[in-house]
A and B are shown apart, each in its own frame.
Chain A
């Protein structure tokens, strides 16, 4: 199976491991990620205003590329996934945005939300299957107690993201289980890490991350995993409790035996 792939800006430098292991694991699991040519930054946040069109166009471009290739579009970063998936929903369901966006773009055929946007984890769950993934694991992460940190962007709004139950998700827990580790369920796994607020309000973000890591640690987690470079950044700044934070692809690579030596601890 071949998918169009949208890495996003941060995966090209600060979060290279997130990207690299997504690709190498895909190889092991038997699917191909074909990077969209000349993709542009998604903008990091979904523009909420109904009158915001220009800021949605980079996503439309990517979506249309995938449509023209007849492929489903895979993302890894939570923020990119959120933005692209919501823009896609607008293009499909909001007539005004669709019309205006198509007016801006000069596409051979108007784009109206035809592409399916999948997060990498959704590919694992819905296309590969966690039981199949389990079969491919060569280094089960037995004994590790891992708290999944979802954050807000993958889950909300649930009606659009349709990723998992936004208040009690389990996809990452199932993922952790498939890798042979023990998931730690804690109630703040779907609460915000502070997001972009951490640029100017460092203390605020810190206290939010404290709540999250405290809760995870309280329930016995030794580490956290995330799909988002910004969550990773913020969680690492948590003052009170310190838990190592990994990208989910890092653990995946480790379990599948493709983790590179340099990254081994």
Chain B
């Protein structure tokens, strides 16, 4: 029987307002094994932790139960406190009487009763706890960054600058990401390319950074400190070592009908192409679906014109297997498909465009060479309408429930730039709310209104109707005037909701990183661990975690890098001691457990055993505790109960069940 101390936290009034902590102390002190019980306003405070230290020493406690907030908050704190008192840290259990009790119940009697039961379950468990010792595992001093946009580039630069090797895997032919598609950036109106390209060049030139473009992550195994990743380098059909980036192949390529992805499909490109002029690497790829040589076998123009002999039609996908200690996900975003919003006539009219498409139109390298013109007839618009929140803040089934965060600001930017460059163009913005928290953001928006005369109308648009005269009739609300507005516009720009890049789902599954209903990666704690995934060793950078603008993305990228560096700086990691452990005498050697182990941690060995005097060689299961992650799948397949999970043993869980159902 253990000697257990129970500590009930008030958490100020967070717990004590709903749970009668004194009553809990009184009741649990009568539980078997409990030889000390007390309450304290803040157990997590230094003074609170001292309470544990003192009691362990004075009463010679062998186990501790803390009734407090979620173990996800302070389990580590209390385990450390116990360790300081000389107790094995795994002799501590937490009864979650805040998140699972005081915060969700109103009735004191009811909440107190539940708190007592939760405490009893924890006590029953601790009674069966055994000291556990954490093992150690090595750390591969190399990081992988998935995604080569501004988030990935910044993270890679920061990690590399700290002296660690970094690989960037980017699925398109060049790094640069969404930021390379932007024309100007808010709130300073810097040219996007001017501030991005130096970073791209720096990354490419960095001796610690290795960039795999036109590549994807195929497979991830292993765990924190020791991931093994298969990277698929897709066949570029161009030998990167030989190519000089002269661009002749692209000029001469006879297949020029493919939609230009970089320009959001607003114009076309050749089958052999680099996405944009500043692409890194400046090595084209052949789009095999569009290439005449690949489709018909006849052509080969690029091969003929290439002085360097770099064209290689026989190139195959290549799989590179590499080990990493840390992985940073920086997969970014895309705009949502607008097929559910045909009331805005995006599919019906070429002159209804998304904001990202407007970026390309405004950009000198874009489809209109930077001239603001209608894509239908090339005419300069006189009347422009911007519609905010298209697909954002929609709690119906059509759109996204969240605010995309960046639209208010970039729309102000677009409106301002247009009014600045084309003062004869009228700009009207239909908005629901203008959200501009951020340094110099609201000032920026007000400048658009006050100095540039952008017409902001509070109210959503209900319909955009193309007119026979080529104009667009915008039917919107002016809620402040209580009017329905009918406005003829030449162009309509939709502030389209952003969503995580589609590939993130597959990547999250490979990394076993959790993902929310909107496909944003979940952070380990929404406030306190915002750049870490709940999966150890996986960090989050940029919009893959949630909508954010460039400064926030860069800040988060740096934070993710710091977290990764913190991990890579360690030589060894302590491993989770809650691993599976077989009882050799009970093991049948049936291999069922090995069949369900996701880590290949279970092997079988013929081993001499002494079963109560009977010596014989048996086939018994062995668990490699460095590989075992402690899921427990094996324990349930084992009919004899030979395989058990330390820290979550059959008897411990049954003791909890019994305590709850008592």
Query: In whole Å, how far is A221's beta carbon from the nearest beta carbon of chain B?
Result: 11
In the complex, what distance in Å separates the CA atom of A218 from the CA atom of B466? 11
Could you tell me which residues of chain A, from 141 to 188, have a CB within 8 Å of some CB in chain B? Answer: 159, 165, 167-168, 185, 187-188
B397 nearest CB neighbor, chain A only: A159
A236 interface residue (CB < 8 Å to B): no
Query: In whole Å, how far is B417's beta carbon from the nearest beta carbon of chain A?
Result: 29
B341 interface residue (CB < 8 Å to A): yes
The interface on chain A, measured as residues whose beta carbon lies within 8 A of the other chain's beta carbons, has a size of 12
With beta carbons under 8 angstroms apart, the residue of A167, A185, A218 that contacts B467 is A218
Residues of chain A with a CB closer than 8 A to B397's CB: 159
In the complex, what distance in Å separates the CA atom of A159 from the CA atom of B398? 10
The interface on chain B, measured as residues whose beta carbon lies within 8 A of the other chain's beta carbons, has a size of 16
Residues of chain A with a CB closer than 8 A to B348's CB: 168, 185, 187
A219 interface residue (CB < 8 Å to B): yes
Residues of chain B with a CB closer than 8 A to A220's CB: 468
With beta carbons under 8 angstroms apart, the residue of B342, B345, B468 that contacts A218 is B468
Query: In whole Å, how far is A161's beta carbon from the nearest beta carbon of chain B?
Result: 14
Query: In whole Å, how far is B13's beta carbon from the nearest beta carbon of chain A?
Result: 42
Q: Say what secondary structure dominates the interface of chain A.
A: loop
Query: In whole Å, how far is A173's beta carbon from the nearest beta carbon of chain B?
Result: 12
With beta carbons under 8 angstroms apart, the residue of B341, B466, B469 that contacts A187 is B466
Residues 462-500 of chain B: 1 if any A CB is under 8 Å from the residue's CB, otherwise 0?
011111110001000000000000000000000000000
B347 interface residue (CB < 8 Å to A): yes
In the complex, what distance in Å separates the CA atom of A218 from the CA atom of B473? 14
In the complex, what distance in Å separates the CA atom of A165 from the CA atom of B345? 12
B468 touches A167 (CB 8 A): no
A187 touches B465 (CB 8 A): yes
Query: In whole Å, how far is B280's beta carbon from the nearest beta carbon of chain A?
Result: 40
Residues of chain A with a CB closer than 8 A to B463's CB: 187, 191
B468 touches A219 (CB 8 A): yes
* Given A165-B342, A167-B341: A215 in contact with B465 (beta carbons within 8 A): yes
Q: What would be 6 A-B contacts, judged by CB atoms less than 8 Å apart?
A: A165-B342, A167-B341, A168-B342, A185-B348, A218-B467, A220-B468
Residues 115-136 of chain A: 1 if any B CB is under 8 Å from the residue's CB, otherwise 0?
0000000000000000000000
Could you tell me which residues of chain A, from 182 to 199, have a CB within 8 Å of some CB in chain B? Answer: 185, 187-188, 191
Residues of chain A with a CB closer than 8 A to B473's CB: 187
B472 nearest CB neighbor, chain A only: A187
If A187-B467, A191-B463 are given as contacts, then 18 extra A-B residue pairs at C-beta distance below 8 Å, sorted by A number, are: A159-B397, A165-B342, A167-B342, A167-B343, A168-B342, A168-B345, A168-B347, A185-B348, A187-B345, A187-B463, A187-B466, A188-B465, A215-B465, A215-B467, A218-B467, A218-B468, A218-B469, A219-B468
Residues 85-97 of chain A: 1 if any B CB is under 8 Å from the residue's CB, otherwise 0?
0000000000000
Most B CB atoms within 10 A — which of A167, A191, A218, A219? Answer: A167
Residues of chain A with a CB closer than 8 A to B464's CB: 187
Residues of chain B with a CB closer than 8 A to A218's CB: 467-469
In the complex, what distance in Å separates the CA atom of A185 from the CA atom of B468? 11
Could you tell me which residues of chain A, from 49 to 72, have a CB within 8 Å of some CB in chain B? Answer: none
Could you tell me which residues of chain B, from 291 to 348, have a CB within 8 Å of some CB in chain A? Answer: 339, 341-343, 345, 347-348
Residues of chain A with a CB closer than 8 A to B347's CB: 168
A218 nearest CB neighbor, chain B only: B468
Could you tell me which residues of chain B, from 338 to 394, have a CB within 8 Å of some CB in chain A? Answer: 339, 341-343, 345, 347-348
Among all A-B residue pairs, the 5 with the closest Cβ atoms: A218-B468, A167-B342, A187-B465, A168-B342, A167-B343
Residues 205-231 of chain A: 1 if any B CB is under 8 Å from the residue's CB, otherwise 0?
000000000010011100000000000
Residues of chain A with a CB closer than 8 A to B345's CB: 168, 187
Query: In whole Å, how far is A145's beta carbon from the nearest beta carbon of chain B?
Result: 13
Query: In whole Å, how far is B585's beta carbon from the nearest beta carbon of chain A?
Result: 56
B465 nearest CB neighbor, chain A only: A187
Query: In whole Å, how far is B279's beta carbon from the nearest beta carbon of chain A?
Result: 36
In the complex, what distance in Å separates the CA atom of A185 from the CA atom of B467? 11
A166 nearest CB neighbor, chain B only: B342
In the complex, what distance in Å separates the CA atom of A220 from the CA atom of B467? 12
A217 nearest CB neighbor, chain B only: B468
Residues of chain A with a CB closer than 8 A to B341's CB: 167
Query: In whole Å, how far is A107's beta carbon from the nearest beta carbon of chain B?
Result: 32
B347 nearest CB neighbor, chain A only: A168
In the complex, what distance in Å separates the CA atom of A135 from the CA atom of B343? 34
Query: In whole Å, how far is B351's beta carbon from the nearest beta carbon of chain A?
Result: 13
Residues of chain B with a CB closer than 8 A to A167's CB: 341-343
Query: In whole Å, how far is B81's beta carbon from the nearest beta carbon of chain A?
Result: 53
Residues of chain A with a CB closer than 8 A to B343's CB: 167
Residues of chain B with a CB closer than 8 A to A191's CB: 463
Residues of chain A with a CB closer than 8 A to B465's CB: 187-188, 215
Residues of chain B with a CB closer than 8 A to A165's CB: 339, 342
Query: In whole Å, how far is A231's beta carbon from the nearest beta carbon of chain B?
Result: 19
In the complex, what distance in Å separates the CA atom of A230 from the CA atom of B347? 30
In the complex, what distance in Å separates the CA atom of A165 from the CA atom of B467? 20
In the complex, what distance in Å separates the CA atom of A215 from the CA atom of B348? 15
In the complex, what distance in Å separates the CA atom of A185 from the CA atom of B348? 9
Could you tell me which residues of chain B, from 491 to 540, have a CB within 8 Å of some CB in chain A? Answer: none
Residues of chain A with a CB closer than 8 A to B466's CB: 187
A214 nearest CB neighbor, chain B only: B468
In the complex, what distance in Å separates the CA atom of A218 from the CA atom of B467? 8
In the complex, what distance in Å separates the CA atom of A168 from the CA atom of B338? 12
A219 nearest CB neighbor, chain B only: B468
Residues of chain B with a CB closer than 8 A to A159's CB: 397
Query: In whole Å, how far is B641's beta carbon from the nearest beta carbon of chain A?
Result: 44
Residues of chain B with a CB closer than 8 A to A185's CB: 348
In the complex, what distance in Å separates the CA atom of A5 from the CA atom of B463? 36
In the complex, what distance in Å separates the CA atom of A191 from the CA atom of B464? 12
In the complex, what distance in Å separates the CA atom of A220 from the CA atom of B341? 25
B341 nearest CB neighbor, chain A only: A167
In the complex, what distance in Å separates the CA atom of A218 from the CA atom of B469? 8
Query: In whole Å, how far is A79's beta carbon from the nearest beta carbon of chain B?
Result: 23
Query: In whole Å, how far is B469's beta carbon from the nearest beta carbon of chain A?
Result: 8
Query: In whole Å, how far is A126's beta carbon from the nearest beta carbon of chain B?
Result: 20
In the complex, what distance in Å separates the CA atom of A191 from the CA atom of B468? 17
Query: In whole Å, how far is A124's beta carbon from the nearest beta carbon of chain B?
Result: 23
Most A CB atoms within 10 A — which of B339, B466, B467, B468? Answer: B468
Residues of chain A with a CB closer than 8 A to B339's CB: 165
Query: In whole Å, how far is A214's beta carbon from the nearest beta carbon of chain B?
Result: 9
In the complex, what distance in Å separates the CA atom of A167 from the CA atom of B347? 10
Residues of chain A with a CB closer than 8 A to B468's CB: 215, 218-220
In the complex, what distance in Å separates the CA atom of A159 from the CA atom of B396? 11
Query: In whole Å, how far is A224's beta carbon from the nearest beta carbon of chain B?
Result: 16
Residues 31-61 of chain A: 1 if any B CB is under 8 Å from the residue's CB, otherwise 0?
0000000000000000000000000000000
In the complex, what distance in Å separates the CA atom of A187 from the CA atom of B576? 63
In the complex, what distance in Å separates the CA atom of A215 from the CA atom of B467? 7
Residues of chain A with a CB closer than 8 A to B342's CB: 165, 167-168
B464 nearest CB neighbor, chain A only: A187
Most B CB atoms within 10 A — which of A168, A185, A220? Answer: A168
Residues of chain B with a CB closer than 8 A to A168's CB: 342, 345, 347-348
Query: In whole Å, how far is B397's beta carbon from the nearest beta carbon of chain A?
Result: 7
In the complex, what distance in Å separates the CA atom of A167 from the CA atom of B469? 21
In the complex, what distance in Å separates the CA atom of A167 from the CA atom of B473? 15
Could you tell me which residues of chain B, from 97 to 138, have a CB within 8 Å of some CB in chain A? Answer: none
In the complex, what distance in Å separates the CA atom of A246 from the CA atom of B523? 60
